[in-house]
Amino acid sequence: MTVIYPDEFRCAQIMPYRISVDMGLLRTPMESGAARQRRLYRTMPTQLQLEFVMTIPELGDWQEWVNVNAYDFFTMKKIESMYAGKLGEISSPHSLRFIGDLEMDNPVYGWVRVKVPAELNPVQPTGGPTTPTNNWIVAGTPDEPSPDWMIGGTPAAPSPDWAIAGSPAYPAAIVPPYVLTGDERLTEADQIRFIE
């Protein structure tokens, strides 16, 4: 069950707003020539510094909700990030969780400013289905069955194909077994095709 940030609570402030994206970059300086670098992972861990401004009476209910729900992933409807941009919007719903202490100060009498670090869930909505590339199984309906087949096989005679389940961000594809087991060397064309 997805927990959704309540509409009656104040949204995170647009300004100040800070995002930190970990690109997973490992650099090795070289004695001669350019430094070598490589990416450690494809998913970019993203942290945000959120700030909420509310009245003292609103703080009680807000902080009680945060204590119960905000340190596990929940959906906040208006957050700015690259995922909103992919949807062509300034802000959009995001799955996130708080990852630090609440810092509070009193900007004016009767009001409180709350700052808290948060991180985005690595699996965010992508704005619709990804265009299929390579070998794909496309599901059908009883009225219009899929033209694609996958033979499951048995333990004695396993299927020659492997299926990787995938996720919304990286959908499933049929992969020849040698890619997973290393039974054969990949050609350069195959390497490029399976990296995409």
pLDDT digit string (tens) for the chain, length 196 residues: 678 999 999 888 866 667 787 787 888 888 888 888 888 877 778 888 999 999 999 999 999 999 999 999 898 888 887 777 777 887 788 888 999 999 999 989 999 999 999 998 877 654 444 444 455 556 667 787 766 666 666 777 776 665 555 555 555 554 444 444 444 444 545 444 444 4
Full residue range of the structural domain in which residue 36 is found: 18-120
What's the rounded Cα separation, in Å, for the pair 161 and 153? 9
Helix residue ranges, H only, the chain: 56-69, 82-86, 177-181, 188-195
pTM of the predicted model over 0.85: no
Residue 64 and residue 148 in one domain? no
What's the rounded Cα separation, in Å, for the pair 135 and 116? 44
Which of residues 99, 120, 141 is at a domain's end? Answer: 120
Residue 135 and residue 164 in one domain? yes
On whether residue 177 sits in a domain, the answer given is: yes
Q: How many domains does the chain have?
A: 2
On whether residue 4 sits in a domain, the answer given is: no
On whether residue 7 sits in a domain, the answer given is: no
Backbone angles phi, psi at 34, to 5 degrees: -70, 150
